[in-house]
Structure 1
Amino acid sequence: MRKFKNLKTGRPSQSESFPPSRTLDIKIDRRYMRMPARFQIGDTVMGRWPGSNLYYEVKVLSYDNKTRLYTVIYKDGTELELKESDITSLTIFKQGVARSRSRSRSRSPGRPRRSRSRSPARTSRRSSTRTTDVRKEKLKEVLEVRLTPVSMAHENNTNNKHEKKEENNAATNTASTITEEKTETESENQAGGRYNLRRRKDQGDGKTVELEQKTETETLLQTKPPTGIKTSDLEFGGRVGVFFLMFLLPLAVLGLLILCSQKDASLQSFPLEFPALQSLWDWQVFGIVLLWLLLQAVLSLLPIGKLVEGMPLKNGKTLKYRINGFYALLFTAVAVGVAVYQEVDFSYIHAHFLQFYTSALLIVTLLSVYLFVRSRWASKDELAPGGNSGYIIYDFFMGRELNPRIKNFDIKFFCEMRPGLMGWVLINFAMLQAEMKHQNLETPSPAMLLVNIFQLLWVVDGIWHEEKLLTMMDIVYDGFGFMLTFGDLAFVPFTFTCQAYYLVSHPNELSIFWIITLITMDGVGYYIFRKANSQKFAFRKNPSDPAVSHLKTIPTATGNSLIVSGLWGWVRHPNYLGDIIMGLAWSLPCGFNNLIPYFYLIYLITLLVHRNARDERQCRKKYGSAWEEYCKAVPYRIFPGIY
């Protein structure tokens, strides 16, 4: 036996292990060592499916030294990030399967095993029958994870399902042994098919038990990169693209507003003369904008309406949100009615429209700077996956922090719905009063009324379904920076009102035929928009809901299902189609003399086509071969028979 001297006494130690001080040194050194990647890029290994004990052949795509996560791709094209402990080499895996098989053959149920007596005086042995019964009882407590093909006839019954980890270590080990014996054959036979994760009890039971439902957001959190990882996939042209967008977008909106106010609103009026400074800034207007934001913030904090939980975050927490937007809208409408009764002239907004815009732009800039500065103290799990690139300009534009809050006041959730959308309706009403004043009308024109009613319906619908905003990409994925701040507080209220702003100086007569046609068009667009969104929300919440359980679906390897019937079997984004039809109904009342009133429609189509491209890229990466099958079943993206 090898002996070592004790560092304190100098005497030989009888222990074969290192002295405590030597052992401590080794542990400390290992803590600061950067461990090399065990598997190389391109290696084919066995990867454990998240939340189960089932292994499949995967290919290593990349490795992150900081997070020590491997990005792997399964045979169906699904990409996930796995820990090193969830990956094993093909050789070791096959050896483990072989050993487990040999152990299972040697442990025959009819062969009794000796058991230790609980006391020296107790020498009785358990009978073979009792041993078999005990082992059966243990096996019944273990759930086996198994991938089984799903036939086309059962597509409409598929929903989000995954196997959860067993908390009991003994049960986990037993399930792993059972599963490993079947994994090799199943992965070879089922790699080319479509799968649905199921679990079943011990084979003696013979019953298949469906897994618990797992929401789409939980699956989304598994497949998207952790928020602590730096953003590598830059959007909007990267650093150069967002740099120009930050300056071009505010100037483009300013040019649009100047054109709408001119008698000749055609594009041939360019280049425009830059307006005088006094027409762009007024401290009184700036104070009014601040008061408007403060009023809506106070209304959002009132203890009325229900308190709901948002989607689970990366750190496992869920944020709470006060849903009282509709009450705030009603209070605002009453306040405006009282002001009109007191003969307050809201046409003041039309006369100082450029000053209102520049005031909002200054507030957007100050708020964006504040958000970026405070994000420097945010923890890694509070950062947005899309705005953590390390480039100042890009992160400032995209937003670094996912859910910036001041105590219980969620800044992003507030700005998304309240001041911009309600300001949109208020500005439209101000333009209605301005048209009557400038055109010497006793009642608003039919064109102005239609624009106000159509857009009011859209805003009321959005605020009524305020809770559904919590599942959208803006809240779940995007950071809150200049892009969303400018869009919520400046772009929406000052560009979506361009039809009403245009009609003040450019009245347009409408016949009864056009009035009926426009009402029908907006109604059809609204029906498609609301029906599609309601189906999507209901299916995400509960696929077994009778309202959506009849829809046919395509299951995916991540446990989600893609709807391929009804409106969602017509085009891939019927909600986008409905939105575009409504946008056309909003623009047509302005006539065909100029292109400026159609700015919203052009912008909307461009935005939705770009968003569709983002969705396609992410879904193809997330769903793999299932997404390709879905695209074959639903070939058109937005416009049936066209695109």
Structure 2
Amino acid sequence: MPHQLPELKFWRHTLGALGLELFAPLITIILAYIVQKCNGLEYDIYNDIRKQANGNIITWISFILRSNFPSPQIMLYVLLYYLFEYALLVFVPGSQYKGPPTPTGYVPLYIKNGNLCYIINIVLFVLAYVFLKDVTSVHLIHDHITSLIISATLYGYLITIYLYFKGIFASYHKPDLEITGNFIYDYYKGLEWYPSIFGVNCKQLVNCRIGMTQWALITLSYALKDFDANGKGDLNYLCTSPVMISALLQIIYLGKFFYWETGYFHTMDVQHDRCGFYITWGMCVCLFFVYTFHTGWLLAQSLQPKYHQQIQLSWTQAVVVMISGIACIYINYASDAQKYYARMKKGECNIWGKPCKMMKAEYIDDTGKVKESYLLYSGYWGLSRHFHYVPEILSSFFWTVPTHYYSIMPYFYVIYLTILLTDRSFRDDERCRNKYGKHWDKYCQLVPYKIIPFLF
């Protein structure tokens, strides 16, 4: 029987979900327009509101939506991108990978070809830039970013509707189905953990192939736009350009992600978040732009002669930012890999030259069976229960800090990520306490800090 939630709160589960479904896309579209047309600067935003809408905010928002509503060509480009990523997932060689089972025992299947798919995307994008300038332009992403986001938002709504009705009428595993009877909330959170889209795992397609890949391609398109505008023949500029520094760090980070993709399938947002609006729109659109907002902001300044010199980095600044950013990316990877490896070995390994410390924790799954898991409390995971969030946030800071401090706007992603991961640490603690009971209390005594050692 489908699982029923015992209680829903009107303000959180109905109004809260509806607000996010309606206003999160709108805010993202406005942010895109602000970067594309207003240079991401508060003063230019004020002037644009006066120019386009005589100072009326509602009229200005209406103008943004009307003037940037995607053409059939833009809609087709986005659809073709989705289909291309689907084709890569299906046809690029890769072994089958079994993810962690759901509480009812269903084992999701993935295709282990992330590394190769990522390389193919990057190489083809650069080749298109070099050889197909007369046919198409990679600058289309920058030049039509607001229209692309509206288009992706429309597709996000449609994909979520498809998954909702697929869950009701063609569930992949009925025991995993969770229907509350509140359409707004069910649409937001999703009904199933691992639905399929045309035979492939929805989360791998949407989260990884579409979402994370387009993050890389958008960032790369910004870097190439900056190269065409300012960097041709100027090695010094290429090595100190804030756009290039920011973009390179993100390309490295995303390369790390696809190298470690199978580990990602064991994370909280894959295992415990169902496939609804939160994931489909979030990965198709929010990740599309919010995660690249700072680089778009940098490019907007770089393309304006009056701001261009203000944001340039010195060689010392560029080197410090690059080394610090790469170090944080590595520590983020190393901490995740450390936990994954220790669990695979069930503690029969060394961490930092010493025997691994893990405690066994029993729990009862949804079928009533007693199972066990292993909680790591050595290495990075002895410092805090979510230490990997520290280098994650710092990585985002280092690819944002080339914006300097002329505006708070480019730090939107860093602030957003900090709030997101802090909230996730509380949710994870609550989930683990409910799952492991007294074992989790003991684990919290061994590792008393949530994220920042000795502070929080």
State whether TM-score is above 0.5. Answer: yes
Partners of 2:381 and 2:103 in 1: CA distance: 30
* Structure 2: tracts of 5 or more residues without a match: 50-56, 303-310, 364-371
Pairing 1:572–2:392 present: no
Report the 3-state secondary structure (helix = DSSP H, G, I; strand = E; otherwise coil) of the residue aligned with 2:388: helix
Corresponding position of 2:168: 376
1:352 aligns with 2:139: no
Give 1:530 deviation, angstroms.
Answer: 1.1
Q: What amino acid is aligned across from residue 485 of structure 1 in structure 2? A: T
**Structure-1 separation of matches of 2:101 and 2:76:** 38
1:450 aligned to 2:245?
yes
Greater fraction of residues in helix: 2
1:525 maps onto 2:325 in alignment: no
**Distance in structure 1 (CA, Å) of the matches to 2:200 and 2:450:** 38
Q: Percent identity?
A: 25
The residue aligned with 1:556 is 361
Superimposed CA distance per residue, residues 133-173 of structure 1 (whole angstroms, 9 cap, x where no aligned partner) = xxxxxxxxxxxxxxxxxxxxxxxxxxxxxxxxxxxxxxxxx
Is 1:239 matched up with 2:31? no
Q: 1:406 to 1:255 in 2, by over 3 A?
A: closer
Instruction: Identify if the C-alpha distance between structure 1 residues 535 and 263 changes in structure 2 by more than 3 Å, giving closer, same or farther.
Output: closer
The structure-2 alpha-carbon separation of the partners of 1:634 and 1:435, relative to structure 1 and needing over 3 Å to count, comes to same
The aligned residue for residue 258 of structure 1 is 33
1:503 aligns with 298
Is residue 2:261 matched to residue 1:472?
A: no
Contact 1:300 1:322 in 2 (8 A): yes
Q: Which residue of 2 aligns with 1:184?
A: none
User: What does 1:535-550 align with in structure 2 at a 5 Å threshold?
Assistant: 535-548=338-351, 550=355
What is the DSSP-based 3-state SS (H/G/I as helix, E as strand, rest coil) of the residue aligned with 1:617?
Answer: helix
AA at the equivalent of 1:465: W
Change (3 A) 1:326 1:527: closer
Q: Distance in 2 between matches of 1:233 and 1:577?
A: 34
How many Å apart are 1:316 and its aligned residue?
4.1
User: Secondary structure at the residue paired with 1:307?
Assistant: strand
For the 8 Å contact 2:360–2:373, the answer to whether it is kept is: yes
Instruction: Report the more deviating stretch, 618-627 or 354-363.
Output: 618-627
1:342 aligned onto 2:131: yes
Instruction: Judge conservation of contact 1:383–1:479 (CA < 8 Å) in 2.
Output: no
Residue in structure 2 matched with residue 287 of structure 1 by the alignment: 76
Mapped pair 1:623 → 2:399: no
Q: What one-letter code is carried by the residue in structure 2 that aligns with 1:565?
A: S
Q: Say whether the 8 Å CA contact 1:435–1:441 is kept in structure 2.
A: no
Could you list the per-position Cα deviations for residues 436-486 of structure 1 after superposition, in whole angstroms to 9, with x for gaps in the alignment? 445586554521111111101111111112212332233333221111001
1:196-242 CA distance string (max 9 Å, x none) = xxxxxxxxxxxxxxxxxxxxxxxxxxxxxxx8321236599212211
Pick from 115, 138, 162: which aligns with 1:326? 115
Q: Is the 8 A contact 2:342 2:349 kept in 1?
A: no
The corresponding residue for 1:484 is 279
CA contact 2:176–2:192 (8 Å) conserved in 1: yes
User: Counterpart of 2:375 in 1: which secondary structure?
Assistant: strand
SS at match of 1:388: coil
**Aligned equivalent of 1:428:** 219
Alpha-carbon distance between aligned partners in 1 of 2:339 and 2:272, rounded to the nearest angstrom: 18
Matched-pair contact (CA < 8 Å) for 1:308–1:321: yes
Aligned to 2:404: 591
| Residue of structure 2 equivalent to 1:515 | 318
Task: Tell me which moved more, 612-621 or 308-317.
Answer: 308-317
CA distances 1:332-382 after superposition (whole Å, capped 9, x unpaired): 223223212214232221111101111101110111111111211145944
Q: Is the 8 A contact 1:555 1:562 kept in 2?
A: yes
Structure 2: how far apart are the matches of 1:384 and 1:594?
Answer: 46
Hey, what's the Cα distance between the residues in 1 that align with 2:8 and 2:212? 29
In 2: Cα distance, 1:234 partner to 1:536 partner: 35
Aligned partners of 1:383 and 1:400 also within 8 Å: no
The residue number in structure 2 matching 1:230 is: 4
Q: State how 1:50-65 maps to structure 2 within 5 Å.
A: none
- Following the alignment from structure 1 to structure 2, what is the Cα–Cα distance between the partners of residues 308 and 440? 42
Alignment correspondent of 1:459: 254
Residues in 2 aligned to 1:429 and 1:522: alpha-carbon distance in whole angstroms: 17
Give distance in 2, aligned partners of 1:267 and 1:383.
Answer: 54
Task: Tell me which amino acid in the other structure corresponds to 2:154.
Answer: L
- Kindly indicate whether the alpha-carbon contact (under 8 Å) linking 2:243 and 2:298 is maintained by their aligned counterparts in 1: yes
Aligned-partner residue type, residue 283 of structure 2:
D
**Aligned letter for 1:412?**
K
Q: Could you state the TM-score of these two structures normalised by the residue count of structure 1?
A: 0.61
Distance, in Å, in 2 between the alignment partners of 1:411 and 1:332 is 19
The gaps in structure 1 that reach 5 residues or longer are 1-226
* Offset at residue 613 of structure 1 (A): 0.8
- Bigger shift: residues 459-468 or 575-584: 459-468
Shift of 1:591: 0.9
**1-side partners of 2:176 and 2:198: how far apart?**
19
**Structure 1 residue identity aligned to 2:246:** V
User: Conserved in 2, the CA contact under 8 Å of 1:571 and 1:635?
Assistant: yes
Residue 499 of structure 1 and its aligned partner are, at CA, apart by 1.7
Compute the displacement of 1:417 (Å). Answer: 0.2
Count of paired positions: 416
Correspondence for 1:640 among 436, 453, 456: 453
Q: Given the superposition, is the C-alpha separation of residues 591 and 441 from structure 1 closer, same or farther in structure 2, using an over 3 Å criterion?
A: farther
Q: CA deviation at 1:627?
A: 2.4
Q: Distance in 2 between matches of 1:421 and 1:246?
A: 21
Instruction: Give the counterpart letter for 1:448 in structure 2.
Output: V
Distance 1:380 1:286, change over 3 A: closer
Contact 1:384/1:399 (CA < 8 Å) preserved in 2? no
Amino acid at match of 1:514: Q
Q: How is 1:159-178 mapped onto 2 (pairs within 5 angstroms)? A: none
From 170, 188, 209, the counterpart of 1:418: 209
State how far apart, in whole Å, the 1-side matches of 2:345 and 2:233 are.
52
What per-residue deviation string (whole Å, max 9, x for no partner) do you get for residues 83-131 of structure 1? Answer: xxxxxxxxxxxxxxxxxxxxxxxxxxxxxxxxxxxxxxxxxxxxxxxxx
Q: CA deviation at 1:394?
A: 0.4
State the Cα distance separating 1:314 from its structure 2 match.
5.2
TM-score by length of structure 2 reads 0.84
Secondary structure at the counterpart of residue 471 of structure 1? coil
**Alignment check: 8 A CA contact 1:438 1:504 kept:** no
Superposed CA RMSD: 2.5
